[in-house]
Amino acid sequence: MARVSIDNGDLIVEIEGLDKLWSLKSRLAIPLGNVRGATADPGMAKEPKGLRAPGTHLPGVITAGTFHQDGERVFWDVRDGARAVVIELADERYARLVVEVADPHATVALIERAITR
């Protein structure tokens, strides 16, 4: 699971627990100017992931790490697809982040408020 916050003009995604090991990341910091939007998308977990490089994919258990699909790099950290949030990015290493959070709707609202300011 991930914890999402806003700090000093950056979107901060903190990877929690053992997901740090599986995703090979502990923290991502993205300037808010490069965040295009966020949506709660429980169906995203069922979409094809692409090529894993590096990361972990155990169907029905966890998808974590970097995946390449259709020429784009996507970061995943999802165990429970019902709590997945997709964060669209521009001019960043990743085209999007797909992360599981405790409260998807509150996380989307936080991000949308921050980028509309």
In tens, the pLDDT along 37-77 reads 999 999 888 887 888 888 898 888 999 999 998 899 999 99
In 10 A of CB 62, how many CB atoms?
20
Q: What's the confidence (pLDDT) of residue 35?
A: 98
| Measured distance CA(112)–CA(45) in Å, rounded | 22
How would you label 67-86 residue by residue, b for 16+ Cβ within 10 Å and e otherwise? beeeeebbbbbbbebebbbb
Domain assignment of residue 50, given as a range? 2-116
Place of tokens 């994919």: 57
Mean per-residue pLDDT for 9-36? 95
Q: How many domains does the chain have?
A: 1
